[in-house]
Every structure is written in structure tokens, then in C-alpha cells.
Amino acid sequence: MPVLLFCQTEKTPNSILQLEQELEHVSPELKAKHLNQIASGYLSFNSEKSLKYAELALEQAISTGNISEEILANFYLGRAFSELLMNEKAISHFKQALEKANASVSDTIVSNIQFALGDSYYQMNNFSEALGQILNSADIEEKLNRQPQLAKRYKYLGKIYHASGDYSRSMIFSQKAIEICKKFGNKQSLMNLYNDIGIVYSDMGNYNKTLDYYQKSLNIAEELNDLKGKAKSLNNIGIVYYESGNYEKALEFYQKSLKIEEELKNKEGIGRSFNNIGIIYSDWKQDNLAIDYYKRALEIMEEYDDVHGMAMAYNNIGESFHELGDTKQALEYLFKSLKMEQSLSNKHGIADSYNTIGSVYFDAGNYDQALVYNNMSYKIADSLKLSPILLLDYELFYKIYNQKKDYKRALDYYTKYTAQKDSIYNLQLHSNLAAIQARYEVERLEKEKAFSDDRNNMRINEVKTQRLYLIIVF
């Protein structure tokens, strides 16, 4: 998922204001350099102004034949367009900068351009081009022995390999980045890397390792008092609780995460929390309430054009309509999700969508279509060793063949299903979860106080009502 930058109103630093005031007195030969300095200054908090000054710098550099400033102007234009999520234009300017930089400037600048170009390709889900550029950048940083910069490249390579489904290489590069960050004591980067590796292990179905790395990330976030990092880790630990079947504890961690995200006014995080809370209500068979949370999440994700998040929300809405018995709306939302996952080349999401669509067809009595979609899911999940999805595939194969009265195949898949389930959810996982639960048990007493405004109190009442429902059912 693209990293979204939320615009905040910030005071323009005096240094940039001074550069703007000096601009009319700068000689034509130095004007492009001056304009580039202003463009660079605005880049971190006002992309539109950065774009404006970079365009002026480019025009001035071309008119005076200043190649080095022309390269920098194209670089800043690319960065500004990237911040504005206009990645095709960003790529065009990065390529122009790189074409001239290769022959006329230092390797350091070439590396920075390649890294930025790779990032833009990644944002457009062009993983092969992204890998090519960032691997080239990493080669330069390795030759220059710029270890902190090399760690950034390794971290990003781990991210790209993960997105493309190559979990082995993702782990290799992430571990390389960790070694460098430990050497230089970069705890902020370590916190993020531990979280990244936890996500990879989660996709592989290794929840013991997942929990271990999420806990490492959380420990550093607390040490640094990094609220954003803490919210992320709490959310992800909640997912592990969810996967282990402890929905109340999962909800508790999601609410802890949501409280922090609301304090930070981080809409992306709030949307994620709404989505995950919706999943809990869906599993508690309150699908109308779940759909309400999913749609609140979807509204935020659409606002920021978060395609990955939208695909997830569409999938979850589809699953809730499925639970409500509305096959038509279920398939409508699930195919929307599948289309988005395919546009992202997200193999994990595609495999999950195929399995869910197969499940809907199964419950509708269309066993042939169910088998078609589950086979497509299994083909991807098996090739990438996606244990959680393989578990779902084996279960659906068993149910399909049982209905078709092919009991030999049904028994074969049921055996595979139970073996897969045992390998994922073992006793060590529950032991680790118990340790984390003990650590946070003291915070349970403060939950009511933590959610003081009317909207959050409403959520607590919803949870209490649902817990009563759970006691009645079970």
C-alpha cells in the first residue's frame, strides 16, 4: 500500500522565507540554484509550492545551460509529483534527471535518483522496474560504503519482494537492513523493520515468529514513545489474537490502536481500525453492524485513493452480505475486490478473493463454480506457500467433494486441512499470547476512561451488547 502523506498546515520556516525574499536580487547564473533550494525546502510540507519553484528552476537552468541544476530541478519535480501521487509525471522527470546524471554528476546523486524512481514504480505496482532501480541504487551505496543509506535500500527491497510474493528474498533483505541498523543504533528503523518482518511471517502463517517480531516492534515504540509505531504494533498483535480465535482480546487491541490513531488524527489508521473492528462483529454474527464499520473504513480509504484498503473493505462487505444470505450483493462486492487486487498484482489478495468467491458459490449450491475458483486460489497459495489461505482452500475442497459424494477426495482434503491447522495454531502460539495478555491486563481497568467522548462510548456499548450475545449463544 502506498504510504499516504496527510497534509497539515505548517508555518513556513524563516530560512525559506529569506530565500524567497533574496530571489529578486540573485544573478541569472545563480538563480536556478536558488530556486532549487527553495523547491527542496518546501518539499517536506508543501508539494504544490515545491513543484512551482522546481519548474522555475528547470526553466532557468535550461536557459543558462546549467546541467547540474537542470538535473536537480527534474529530481525535485519528480519528488513533488510523487508526493502528489502523480507517479507517471514523477517517473518522467526522474528519467530525465537520470539520463543526464549518469554522465555528469556524482554516484551519490545518481543513487538518490534511482531510489526515488524505484519508489515511484513501486507506487504504480511495477515491481520489476522498482527492483531494477533500487538494486542499482543499492550497488552504488555498497561501493560507497554508505551503510545507513544501504540499509534504506535493503528495507525497501524487502518491501517490494514481499509485495510481489517472494517472501524468502523479502526476509533476506530485511535481515540485512536489521544488521546495519543494529550496528548504527537506528532504533526507529529497527522498529519498522521488525513490523515488516512480522507481516511477512503472518502471510506465511508462522504466527509464533509473527508475534515475536510484533512484540519487538512494540517494545521499541514504547521506548521511543512513538505513538504511531505503537498504534501499528497494537493493531497487528490484535490480528494475531484474531487469528488464534480470541476475538475479545483482538477487539481490545484494536481499540487501543484506534484510540491512539484518533489522538494522532491519522485517518489511514482510523480506517484500518474500523475495518478490523468490523471483522470482529462479523464473526460475532452482527453483520449489519460489521457492514457499517466497513463502510466507514471504505469512505476514508476512497478519500485517499487507498486501492489496497478499498479492496480489503470491498472483500469484507462482500463476506458480510454472504453471511446475511444476500448472494447477489456478496458477489458484487467480492468481484470489485478481486478486480482491485488484480490491478495491484497482489497475489495474496487474489488467492484470498478466489477462495471467498468459491465459498459463496458453494453456499449457493453451485459446486462446479466453487471448485473452479478454489482451484485458482489453491494454485497461487500452494506456489507461494500461503499457509492461512491453504487452510481455507483445503477446507473448501473437503466440503465441495463431500457434497459431490466423492468421499475419497473429501477425506484426503480433510486430512490435509487438519494437518495444516495443527501446523499453524500450535501450543507455543497460545503461550506467547498469554504472556502478552498478562502484560496488558492492567490496562483493561482503564478502558472505559480511555474512550470518553460520546462516539467512543457508543462503541463500548456495542461491545458490551455483543459480549452478552456471545454468552447467550455459547
The model's pTM: 0.68
Helices (H), ranges, 14-145 = 14-22, 28-42, 47-64, 67-83, 87-104, 107-123, 127-144
Instruction: State the number of CA atoms in the 13 A half-sphere of 48 facing the CB.
Output: 1
Grid cell listed for 368: 462446479
Check whether 162 has a pLDDT greater than 60.
Answer: yes
CA distance 271 to 337: 17
* List of residues 6+ apart from 90 with CB closer than 8 A: 77, 78, 79, 80, 81, 82, 116, 120
Report the phi/psi class of residue 151: left, alpha or beta, with left for phi > 0 and alpha for psi in -120 to 50.
Answer: alpha
CA distance 287 to 316: 10
Buried b (16+ CB within 10 A) or exposed e, 111-134: bbbbbbbbbbbbbebbbeebbebb
Determine contact, residues 217/194, Cβ cutoff 8 Å. yes
Check whether 467 has a pLDDT greater than 60.
Answer: no
Determine contact, residues 139/149, Cβ cutoff 8 Å. no
Least Cα distance to 211 among 220, 202, 224 occurs for: 202
Quick one: pLDDT at residue 14?
80
Comparing 77-91, 270-284, 444-458, the range with the smallest average pLDDT is 444-458
CA distance 116 to 40: 14
Least Cα distance to 356 among 393, 387, 382, 324 occurs for: 393
Residue type, 439: R
Least Cα distance to 83 among 189, 6, 152 occurs for: 6
pLDDT tens readout for residues 61-93: 999 999 999 999 999 999 999 998 899 999 999
Quick one: pLDDT at residue 375?
97
CA distance 173 to 162: 10
pLDDT class of 101 with cuts at 50, 70, 90:
confident
Least Cα distance to 202 among 444, 379, 424 occurs for: 424
Grid cell listed for 400: 465441495
Check whether 185 has a pLDDT greater than 80.
Answer: yes
Q: DSSP letters of 350-415?
A: HHHHHHHHHHHHHHTT-HHHHHHHHHHHHHHHHHHT-HHHHHHHHHHHHHHHHHTT-HHHHHHHHH
CA distances from 172 to 155, 158, 206, 252, 354 (A): 10, 7, 16, 33, 29
Three-state DSSP class for 90? Answer: helix
* List of residues 6+ apart from 279 with CB closer than 8 A: 242, 290, 316
Q: Long-range contact list for 393-396, CB < 8 A, 24+ apart? A: 393/355, 394/420, 396/355, 396/358, 396/359, 396/362, 396/370
CA distance 163 to 260: 27
pLDDT tens readout for residues 300-345: 999 988 888 899 999 999 999 999 999 999 999 999 999 999 998 8
Check whether 435 has a pLDDT greater than 70.
Answer: no
Average pLDDT over residues 145-149: 95
pLDDT class of 461 with cuts at 50, 70, 90:
very low
* List of residues 6+ apart from 368 with CB closer than 8 A: none
Average pLDDT over residues 252-272: 93
CA distance 414 to 398: 5
Quick one: pLDDT at residue 288?
95
pLDDT tens readout for residues 27-57: 999 999 999 999 999 998 899 999 999 999 9
CA distance 235 to 252: 10
CA distance 71 to 81: 15
CA distance 222 to 88: 39
Check whether 114 has a pLDDT greater than 90.
Answer: yes
Mean pLDDT of the chain: 86
Check whether 103 has a pLDDT greater than 50.
Answer: yes
Quick one: pLDDT at residue 11?
41
